[in-house]
Amino acid sequence: MDMQKIGLLGFGTMGAGIAQLIAQSGRDVLVLETAQERIDAGMVFLADFLSGGVARGKITEADSETIKGRVHGVLEVEDLAGVELVIEAVTENPAAKKSLLSKVSSVVGADVPILTNTSALSVTDLATSVENPGRFAGLHFFNPAPLMKIVEIVRALETDDGLVETLVSFVESIGKEPIVVKDRPGFLVNWLLMPYLNDVIQAYDEGLATAEDIDVAVRLGLGHKQGPLELLDLIGLDVHHHATTSAYGATLDPTFAPPPLLRQLVAAGHLGNKNGKGFRTGGKVTE
């Protein structure tokens, strides 16, 4: 892969993780944000994650400094002129994504690949916002991006075959395992995961077992590395609610419909690990 200058839209949790991955591969990253404060916060998150890697002996302090030195924040879309590939990782709001993607498309040129990290929205729909939608696809990283091995390459309706081949090589070059999937709600992993997690929430709500025992049962009985309610707290209850709501709206498949307890928890501000209120966190609901 000879693309050495990558544009990244958004410097939140996912954006910071993706920036680290790309910088670790020896590439420069220009991260677009709306305010300097958000760039600073992203750099703090990136630095903290790298410090953890240094403490665990995964990377050296020199490696950490080199990686941070390859990541540069910018505040204007025009600053992305000259990048060779763009990855969008902003809020899961279709109107906001489309508006930004349209502006970026006109700045970077008609042949530069533009990718979205959306986990719930239609890649084909987002592709309508860019010039030459054949150069648009999904590149779905999982959280935390530096640690999760898999990346879904999502083929939209008009995605060029050559772009898919390029993305397979790109994902491999940053040390991840690519899988190519169709543009469907949840793509592949979340298509399988969402109904399962909904069933777990319903089982908990009906009192089949405590949250702790449900997680123990799945870890020891099914061989999963992590219990489903622990996973929900990590993902974010609001994130799962948004994803299931979107998938249900697109398919009307009742297995995707968010369970009543999930809707109640999110409405009450129980978001999981991010605010300490979830199924297995310090502010958990009830056992």
Question: HEC states along 1-30?
Answer: CCCCEEEEECCCHHHHHHHHHHHHCCCEEE
157 and 242: one domain? no
Under DSSP, the state recorded for 65 is H
167 and 30: one domain? yes
Q: Which contacts (CB < 8 Å, 24+ apart) does range 78-82 have? A: 78/107, 79/30, 79/32, 80/7, 80/30, 80/32, 80/104, 80/107, 80/108, 81/107, 81/108, 82/5, 82/108
The pLDDT tens digits for 177-209 are 999 999 999 999 999 999 999 999 999 999 999
Question: Looking at the predicted structure, is the pLDDT value of residue 90 above 90?
Answer: yes
178 and 195: one domain? no
Q: Which of 182, 213, 230 is the last residue of a domain?
A: 182
Mean pLDDT, residues 242-261 taken together:
94
Are 186 and 120 a contacting pair, CB within 8 Å?
yes
Task: Report if residue 286 sits inside a domain.
Answer: no
pLDDT of residue 116: 98
203 and 139: one domain? no
Q: Which of 152, 182, 212 is the last residue of a domain?
A: 182
Question: Looking at the predicted structure, is the pLDDT value of residue 46 above 90?
Answer: yes
48 and 173: one domain? yes
pLDDT of residue 119: 87
Half-sphere exposure (CA, 13 Å, Cβ side) for 32? 21
22 and 145: one domain? yes
Question: Looking at the predicted structure, is the pLDDT value of residue 65 above 90?
Answer: yes
Residues serving a catalytic function are 119, 140, 152, 190
> Side chain identity at 82, as an amino acid letter?
G
182: helix, strand or coil: strand
Mean pLDDT, residues 125-132 taken together:
96
Please give the backbone phi and psi of residue 244, each rounded to the nearest 5 degrees, phi first: -70, -40
Task: Report if residue 19 sits inside a domain.
Answer: yes
137 and 221: one domain? no
How much is the CA Rg of the chain, to the nearest whole Å?
19
Question: Looking at the predicted structure, is the pLDDT value of residue 285 above 60?
Answer: no
Task: Report if residue 281 sits inside a domain.
Answer: no
pLDDT of residue 84: 97
79 and 202: one domain? no
27 and 91: one domain? yes
Mean pLDDT, residues 27-35 taken together:
98
The pLDDT tens digits for 92-104 are 899 999 999 999 9
Mean pLDDT, residues 260-267 taken together:
97
Task: Report if residue 274 sits inside a domain.
Answer: no
- The whole domain housing 47 covers 5-182
Q: What angle do CA 123, 129, 79 make, to 5 degrees?
A: 105
15 and 136: one domain? yes
pLDDT of residue 120: 82
Question: Looking at the predicted structure, is the pLDDT value of residue 283 above 90?
Answer: no
243 and 121: one domain? no
Give the separation between CA 102 and CA 73, rounded to whole angstroms. Answer: 20
Question: Looking at the predicted structure, is the pLDDT value of residue 287 above 80?
Answer: no
Residue entry with tokens 């799945």: 218
Task: Report if residue 285 sits inside a domain.
Answer: no
pLDDT confidence of 286, banded at 50, 70, 90?
very low
Task: Report if residue 272 sits inside a domain.
Answer: no
Task: Report if residue 99 sits inside a domain.
Answer: yes
pLDDT confidence of 284, banded at 50, 70, 90?
low
103 and 200: one domain? no
| Domains contained in the chain, number | 2
Kindly report the CATH number assigned to the domain that includes residue 104.
3.40.50.720
Task: Report if residue 280 sits inside a domain.
Answer: no
Mean residue pLDDT of the chain comes to 94
Mean pLDDT, residues 213-237 taken together:
95
Kindly report the CATH number assigned to the domain that includes residue 205.
1.10.1040.10
Q: Which of 182, 214, 236 is the last residue of a domain?
A: 182
